[in-house]
Chains A and B, each alone.
Chain A
Amino acid sequence: DARVTQTPRDKVTEMGQEVTMRCQPILGHNTVFWYRQTMMQGLELLAYFRNRAPLDDSGMPKDRFSAEMPDATLATLKIQPSEPRDSAVYFCASGRGQGRDGYTFGSGTRLTVV
Chain B
Amino acid sequence: GDSVTQMEGPVTLSEEAFLTINCTYTATGYPSLFWYVQYPGEGLQLLLKATKADDKGSNKGFEATYRKETTSFHLEKGSVQVSDSAVYFCALSDSGGGADGLTFGKGTHLIIQP
Residues of A near any B CB (own CB < 8 A): 4, 31, 33, 42-43, 45, 48, 50, 55-56, 91, 93, 97-108
- CA A93 to CA B45, docked complex, whole Å: 10
Describe B's contact surface by its main secondary structure: strand
Q: How many A-B residue pairs have CB under 8 A?
A: 59
Most buried by A among B32, B44, B49, B99: B44
Contact B101 A42 (CB under 8 A): no
Most buried by B among A31, A97, A100, A108: A100
| A-side contacts of B43, CB under 8 Å | 4, 91, 105-108
User: Which one, B18-26, B60-68, B70-78, B102-110, is touching chain A?
Assistant: B102-110
Contact B49 A99 (CB under 8 A): no
Contact A91 B107 (CB under 8 A): no
Check if B46 is an interface residue, CB within 8 A of chain A. yes
Output the least CB separation between B2 and chain A (Å): 12
